[in-house]
Amino acid sequence: MKKLTLTEDYREEFVNYSKNRITRCSHIKNYNHLTNKILNNTFTFLVKSKLTVTNKGISYWYKNNEKIFEAYGYSDKNIIDTKEQIQENLYHEVFCMAEWLARSLTEGYAYTCKNIIGNKNYELITSN
């Protein structure tokens, strides 16, 4: 099984991925709530939490040395063939968490986010 863990080395590519995704999808969804600060803070949080994705579609990160699964994969199949596809999946996970955290500020589920990532992390990521 191939796997890739998020590191600071991927930050610039992630920023480009995020800009492209927002541009590509803005006709479907409004991303005004998703600030560069939240994107960058989420990236930093997930670097520290060792976000990892695999070619089987599994993605996870660590909270207090416990694996937190974001996706459980696809029946033990290799669904991602190249390193570039694994990287794109890695960036997708960061982007989706950042967008989810940004929406929580206005849509009333901050409590749920705090329970998942912790109060301190939530405040660090979403504070102005």
Read off the pLDDT of residues 1-29 as tens digits, 9 standing for 90 and up.
789 999 999 999 999 999 999 999 988 88
Q: Which pLDDT value is given to residue 30?
A: 85
What does the block give as tokens for 39? 């994107």
| Bridge partners of residue 53, in order along the sequence | 4, 59
Spell out the residues 6+ positions from residue 26 whose beta carbon is closer than 8 angstroms to its own: none
Helical spans, DSSP H, in 1-128: 11-25, 36-48, 83-107, 110-117, 119-126
Contacts of 81 (CB under 8 A, 6+ apart): 55
Joined together, the tokens standing for residue 60 give 């996870």
Give tens-digit pLDDT for 42-74. Answer: 999 999 999 999 888 889 999 999 999 888 765
